[in-house]
A and B are shown apart, each in its own frame.
Chain A
Amino acid sequence: MNHHSMTKAKLAAAEHAAAAKTQFGFWVYLMTDCVLFASLFAVYAVLQNNTARGPVSQGLFDLNFVLIETVLLLTSSFVCGMAVLAAASLNRRATVIFLAITCLLGATFLGMELYEFSHLIHEGNGWQTSAFLSAFFTLVGTHGLHILAGLIWGLSLIAQIVRGGLNHSAVKRLGLFSLFWHFLDVVWIFIFTVVYMIGSL
């Protein structure tokens, strides 16, 4: 019995160490993703004033619309943290509900972004118009693609937890997903400030 519990403890410790390694590997990926976004920000900053015959950034964006988008994404990030806490206290129902709210808010955010894009294109301000708009669509669109990937990941996590419960691998993946989702919110702070706020001045 004693021997059995010891191997069990050893196994738990090994699992914990493996999970910590996975988390670190994922963190390194997130940091390289930061560098990707940094290069897109650099492109945007350089090309910002090269508007050709297209519109300038001032007056192009609806500030109220962007504020709602931002609050939605921020709330989604917070609710994702709640899902992690619910999983830590082994509350399966709450974890699934919080994850579903996270995905719903994320999907609304993405829908609003796509609406903004289609509105811009409809007005004749597509990515072909000027270097400024090319850089804008690339930067904001890359963030949107990440959100889409996160939504697919979040939905598959919900399916995994509903089917298999809060097992070790599900909790580990939820931890990685929350890092990814919070990271996207941090990137959005820069987009919100540089593109939408400073760009509207």
Chain B
Amino acid sequence: MSKPLVSDHHQANRSLGRYVFGFIASLILTVGAYLLVDTHVTTNHNGMGHDYIIPILAGLALVQVIVQLICFLHVGQETKPRWKLFVLFFAIAIIIIVVLGSLWIMANLEDHMVMPSQITEYMQDQEGF
């Protein structure tokens, strides 16, 4: 009877450690992103360009999501038929299709859009359609 209790205690300690690690790591990643943006804004957009800052912010967010999925949502800690992980990857695939697909299609549509002023210009140039 005492043996499973000891291992329970051990496991509780391990998950406490996981929560604490997840909390501290998330705090650091959040404050890091904030400092990056805040210094950029207060220094009147000097220093790093957007081409560098946006990928760094995206990277910080991605790392924090992975940290929280593992430490708080216990992803990957289930036993073998890993259905939860499977559903998660399926959801990620859908999310990528929805978000990137929407951006792609809408950017493409915008490329093909003609401003009303351009139509007027065209009509004046060509003396009508």
Q: Contact string, B8-46, partner A, CB cutoff 8 A, digits 1/0? A: 000010011001001100110011011011101100010
Complex interface: stretch among A35-43, A103-111, A137-145, A165-173: A35-43
Provide the B68-110 mask, 1 if CB < 8 A to any CB of A, else 0.
1100110000000001100110110011001101110010000
Q: Would you call A201 an interface residue if the criterion is a C-beta within 8 Å of the partner chain's C-beta atoms?
A: yes
Across the interface, A186 reaches (CB within 8 A) one of B38, B60, B68, namely: B68
B37 contact from A28, A34, A63, A71, Cβ within 8 A: A63
Whether B119 is near chain A, meaning CB under 8 Å from some CB there, is no
Residue A94, interface by CB 8 Å: no
Size of B's binding interface in residues, CB under 8 A: 45
Contact B61 A190 (CB under 8 A): yes
The answer to whether B30 and A192 touch across the interface, beta carbons within 8 angstroms, is yes
- Do A77 and B72 touch (CB < 8 A)? yes
Nearest CB of A to B43, in Å = 12
Q: Whole-angstrom distance from the CB of A169 to the nearest CB of chain B?
A: 21
Q: Is the interface of A mostly helix, strand, loop or mixed?
A: helix
Bound: A42/B105 CA distance, A = 11
**Any B CB within 8 A of the CB of A200:** yes
Q: Is the CB of A197 within 8 A of B87?
A: no
- A193 and B58 within 8 A (CB): yes
CB A156 to nearest CB in B, in angstroms, measures: 22
**Residues in chain A within 8 A of chain B (CB atoms):** 24, 27-28, 31-32, 34-35, 38-39, 41-43, 45-46, 59, 63, 67, 70-71, 74-75, 77-78, 81-82, 85, 88-89, 179, 182-183, 185-186, 189-190, 192-193, 197-198, 200-201
